[in-house]
Amino acid sequence: MLKLKLEKEQKNELVSRVQDYFYKERSEEIGELSAEFLIDYMIAELGPYIYNQAIQDALKLVGDKMVALEDDLHAIEKPIAFNRR
């Protein structure tokens, strides 16, 4: 699996959110570097689980769409009349 690479702006936003979380929920201040390390750790640990769940969700969605498409195709089939002589 490829390593998730966040854009600089996304990473900065997440760092700010982690810092806000620690301050509001734990009454602790956490530096930017510590917040960034925590984000990297969480991505490494949670990333494969989230990725696999996303794959399963996509498979189900595509499967459901294929069933619907198959039903639609059967609905437009033309009847064949056999003429007996």
**Quick one: tokens of 67?**
């069933």
How large a percentage of the chain has pLDDT more than 90?
Answer: 86
Residue pair 16/36 in contact (Cβ under 8 Å)? The answer is no
Is pLDDT larger for residue 4 or for residue 41?
Answer: 41
Whole-number Å distance between alpha carbons of 53 and 57: 6
Q: In the predicted model, what is the mean pLDDT of residues 62-66?
A: 97
How large a percentage of the chain has pLDDT more than 70?
Answer: 96
- Res 16: pLDDT: 98
Give Rg (Cα) of the chain: 25
